Chain A
C-alpha cells in the first residue's frame, strides 16, 4: 500500500538559511499534519491542513509557514534557521471521513542546522 512520502530525507543547512520540506500524503487522504521531534523527545504537533485549509496550529514558530496545495501535497517552509531547529520533521496524513482518526506517518526529514 502507498505510504506518506517526504522529501528530502536529509537536509543540512546553515544558521539563518531557509529550508522547504515536502510531504505527499497517502492517496485519498485529505488531512495533513506536521510534527517536530527533537532528540530524545516525543513528536510535537506543528500545524495541520484539511482540504487545503489550515485546521489547527500548535507550537510552530512564526519563522515557519506551511500550506497544502490542490493535489493535497504540503510544504513546510522554514526561514532564519536556528541551531535549535535541528530535529526530525514528520508529516502524517489521515482520512477525515468516518469515525477513524488514524494518522500514518511518513519516514521523516532529518534537518541539521550548523
Chain B
C-alpha cells in the first residue's frame, strides 16, 4: 500500500463543471498537504497548500482536509480545458525533514 493514494483516473468532466479530486494518506501524524498540477513532460506546479482541518479557497480551487479521516481533496470549479493535467497530492510525513511524498496522481480531462 502506498503512503499516499489517489485514483489514477482519468477523471473526465465537461467544461464548466466541478472536478473533485481525492487523496488519502496513511501516516496519521502528517502535518502538511499539497496539491500540484503537472502537465505532461513538465514540472509539478504548486496550486494549493493546506495545513489545518477544513476548507481553503484560492480562486477556482478549494482544498479540503480531514485529518481524522486522513483525507484531502481538491475541488476545481468552472473547469477549463487548460485544467486538463495530472494532479499530484503530496504530503510531508512526520519526522521526514519536509521531503514530499507523492501520490501517483489523478489525470483530469476537461472536455468541450
Contact = CB atoms under 8 A, between A and B. Distances in A.
Interface of A: 31, 33, 35, 41-45, 48, 50, 55-56, 58, 88, 90, 92, 94, 96, 99-108, 110
Contacts of B36: 105
Interface in B70-112: 88, 92, 96-105
A99 B104 CA distance: 26
Nearest to A100: B49
Interface of B: 32, 34, 36, 41-46, 49, 51, 88, 92, 96-105
Contacts of B92: 101
Interface of A is mostly: strand
B42 A107 contact: yes
A35 B51 CA distance: 23
Contacts of B42: 107-108
26 contacts: A33-B99, A33-B100, A43-B44, A43-B100, A45-B100, A48-B98, A48-B99, A55-B97, A56-B97, A58-B99, A88-B41, A88-B43, A90-B44, A94-B98, A96-B98, A99-B51, A100-B49, A101-B32, A101-B98, A102-B34, A103-B46, A105-B36, A105-B43, A107-B42, A107-B43, A110-B41
